[in-house]
Amino acid sequence: MALDPLTNRAMFDRIAPTYDRLNHLLSLGIDRRWREKSVLRLVPFAPKRVLDACCGTGDFSILLRDTLHASVTGCDLSEGMMAIAREKAPDLTFEVQDCLHMTYPDASFDVVACAYGVRNFESLRAGLQEFHRVLQGGGHVLILELSVPRRWPMMWGFWLYSKVFMRIVGRLVSHDRTAYEYLPESMAKFPQAEEVKRLLQDVGFKKVSFHRYIFGLSTCFLAEK
């Protein structure tokens, strides 16, 4: 279930003030560790120009800057999210962009990173094609995304978590029923890792690999242009 850009932007603008608190609460803080482990996979490439696509409130942009010691640009569809990001990291650049139609020239970045954003794309293929376009030859894409575990008992546990805990806590903290009904639905619709790997290869990436965290609740993809 993907939202059109205007609906997507409006929803994330609404939940921006409580977004960080809810992310960490709903993941029990594990999302921080997933991000840290994923970014370490980029260290051997020593990138200088990094794009954080779907940057949200900027936590991943800051982690990329501090870990890679690189110049980081964050972009997102939600101005509400980026207003918070600019307060956190005034030294970084945050720009409104539709990640399916970015205005950056071809081969602008050494790395395109995206944490928990691609499942919101109207077209996953179009988004990956844009990532490929703005990367220089030999550059890397790093994607971290949520999905539904396919094995018991994790599948059952996810169902209980998403249908009960996530919706109740999300509604109480954010006061936005729609957003935290959308989140588990978008996870359920997101393709499994093997399909995402094939799609990355289809749009021109090579050396595609993925690593699952907690039996597939979150997956990190790494590929080279």
Interval 53-63: pLDDT, tens: 999 999 999 99
Q: What is the pLDDT at residue 144?
A: 96
pLDDT, greater one: 216 or 18: 216
Q: Which two tokens stand for residue 55?
A: 């940057």
Within 10 A of 38 (CB to CB), how many other CB atoms are there? 23
Q: How far apart are CA 217 and CA 196, in angstroms?
A: 15
Q: For 7-30, how does the pLDDT look when each residue is reduced to its tens digit (9 = 90+)?
A: 667 777 787 676 776 666 666 678
pTM metric for this prediction: 0.88
Q: Report which of 58, 12, 1, 18 is spatially closest to residue 170, judged by C-alpha positions.
A: 18
What's at 69, amino acid-wise? H
Q: How far apart are CA 78 and CA 3, in angstroms?
A: 13
Q: Is the pLDDT of residue 189 over 80?
A: yes
Stated as kind and residue range, the H or E segment containing 93 is strand 93-96
Percent of the chain residues past pLDDT 70, beyond the cut: 81
Q: Which two tokens stand for residue 159?
A: 């169902």
Superfamily of domain 5-224: Vaccinia Virus protein VP39 (3.40.50.150)
Q: How confident is residue 200, by pLDDT bands cut at 50, 70 and 90?
A: very high
Q: How far apart are CA 41 and CA 143, in angstroms?
A: 11
Stated as kind and residue range, the H or E segment containing 49 is strand 49-53
Contact 14/171 with Cβ under 8 angstroms? no
Q: Which two tokens stand for residue 216?
A: 């597939």
What phi and psi values does residue 213 have, to the nearest 5 degrees?
Answer: -110, 135
Q: How far apart are CA 167 and CA 128, in angstroms?
A: 30
Q: For 114-137, how does the pLDDT look when each residue is reduced to its tens digit (9 = 90+)?
A: 999 999 899 999 999 999 999 999
- Kindly report the average pLDDT of the chain as a whole number: 87
Q: How far apart are CA 14 and CA 180, in angstroms?
A: 12
Task: List the domain boundaries for the chain.
Answer: 5-224
Rg (CA), the chain: 16
